Amino acid sequence: MHSDRNGAHTAVAIFVLQTMGSGVAVYGIPIYIAVFLRSGTVGAASLSLASTAFFITGALSAPVVSRFGQHNPIRALLAAVLTGTAAITAMAVHPSAPVVITAFAALGAVFNGGFVVVGTAVLVRVFDGKPTAGMALSTSGASAGGILIAPLVALLLTTGPFHAGTFFVEAAGFLVVSCAALMLGRRGTPPSAAVRTPAPGRSWLRLAPHWPLVAGFGLISASQLGATSYMVATGLSRNFSGASLAVSVATGVAVASRWIGSAGIRTFGLHRWTMFSFALQVAGVAMIGLAPAGWVLFTGAVLIGQSLGNTILIRSQVVVELFGVDEFPPVFAQFQTWATLGSAVGPFVLGQVFAASHDYTIAYLALCVINAIALPCLLPWLRGSKTGGSKTGGSKTRTWSVDEPERTEGSPV
């Protein structure tokens, strides 16, 4: 078993990597779009295609990067850091449509395939699959970048006319901080974090019996990202004061909810906490769609933000519960693929409904329907066994029962 200090090193390292990755990738994408549109270097149609490439490449790259990361997670994370640095640098050197589309696609693979999938797999091994404080700290980086890094990127890139030097500064900062995190993580990641490679295609076959669960999480992600993408727009259309801060509120709550979610899962059990969190999301989407007043909009942002924060932690615990720690990396990568594709569908659906109806209320109610359909998809999983261990047969794997409240010792961190 690893020491408590080594576990802390790993948790902090993954937190920094995911914070940097989300700041320059997920939350950086809207900033890059604004910069290129304002400068006229890349057209709106090309930027729309680039955004789609970000999500699709991020989804499809997860299984490939995960397979590479099983052998040497530090090397896989280093490759992600170098790829991200190259992508940002390329946009500075030659800001043309083909380069920006390729760079956005690369950033999608870096964040989703590298930092999220490989990073989470390392954490699951280090913390034996438990939803500990260390897991909560590390996975909160996927949202913390919107608070800690994205404002710096916006300040750097948008305070003046387009200048390649500002992108070079961003790339250098990303490289230096990320490499420092990797050096810290190398001290805390035990050799056991690199796991055996399952037989080719096995993860696809093992997920097949759980297709309603996978579909449910995909629909949840579609509703989350769709609601978040148009949150500010719907507030501004109703002249709500401070509506531009709605996404920031949701992001801040998402960071805090990782910690709350870790305690909630240990206290109430995974199944109860999952349904509670996702039911609140349904209410949040409906409140934003109806929003008769600004405070209702912000309450909806809080409810969606808590679900955004809880989802990655919940998703990893679901895979641990069903497949165990040893089978986690490839199965989680496949799970993440479908969830990320759902994330890409949500904004598209809401945008199309709004384009046809010119009414945000109708568009958000459509997302409510998607969210409501997702909840029954979780019922087969909820009716499953209450005990730990692999639920799909095959070889025995190390698991931890996350459906019942934890009554053992606390976090290793």
Provide the pLDDT for residue 203: 53
CATH of the domain at 103: 1.20.1250.20
Provide the pLDDT for residue 318: 92
153 and 247 both lie in a single domain: no
Q: Is residue 410 part of a domain?
A: no
Share of the chain above pLDDT 90, in %: 30
- Which has the closest alpha carbon to 105: 331, 173, 346, 97? 97
pLDDT in tens, 334-381: 888 888 888 878 877 887 888 888 888 998 999 899 988 998 999 989
Both structure tokens of 352: 């199309």
Domain hosting residue 148, numbered range:
1-194
6 and 150 both lie in a single domain: yes
pLDDT in tens, 122-160: 888 888 878 777 777 778 888 888 888 988 998 899 888
SS3 category, 197: coil
Q: Is residue 232 part of a domain?
A: yes
Sign of the torsion angle spanned by Cα atoms 323, 324, 327, 332: positive
128 and 7 both lie in a single domain: yes
Provide the pLDDT for residue 3: 47
156 and 233 both lie in a single domain: no
184 and 226 both lie in a single domain: no
What mean pLDDT, rounded, does the chain reach?
Answer: 83
223 and 334 both lie in a single domain: yes
Q: Is residue 409 part of a domain?
A: no
168 and 208 both lie in a single domain: no
* 55-68 mean pLDDT: 86
293 and 372 both lie in a single domain: yes
Q: Is residue 81 part of a domain?
A: yes
111 and 186 both lie in a single domain: yes
Q: How confident is the model at residue 398 (pLDDT cuts 50, 70, 90)?
A: very low
Task: Report DSSP letters for 12-40, one per residue.
Answer: HHHHHHHHHHHHHTTTTHHHHHHHHHHHT
CA 379 to CA 374: how far, in whole Å?
Answer: 10
Provide the pLDDT for residue 72: 84
Q: Is residue 263 part of a domain?
A: yes
Q: Is residue 411 part of a domain?
A: no
166 and 229 both lie in a single domain: no
**3-state SS, one letter per residue, for 122-165:** HHHHHCCCCCCHHHHHHHCHHHHHHHHCHHHHHHHHHCCCCCHH
268 and 342 both lie in a single domain: yes
Residue where a domain terminates, one of 194, 226, 256: 194
Residue where a domain terminates, one of 167, 194, 221: 194
* 161-178 mean pLDDT: 93
- Which has the closest alpha carbon to 291: 353, 243, 219? 243
Burial class, 303, CB count within 10 angstroms (exposed 0-12 / middle 13-18 / buried 19+)? buried
242 and 165 both lie in a single domain: no
Is the confidence at residue 177, as pLDDT, over 90? yes
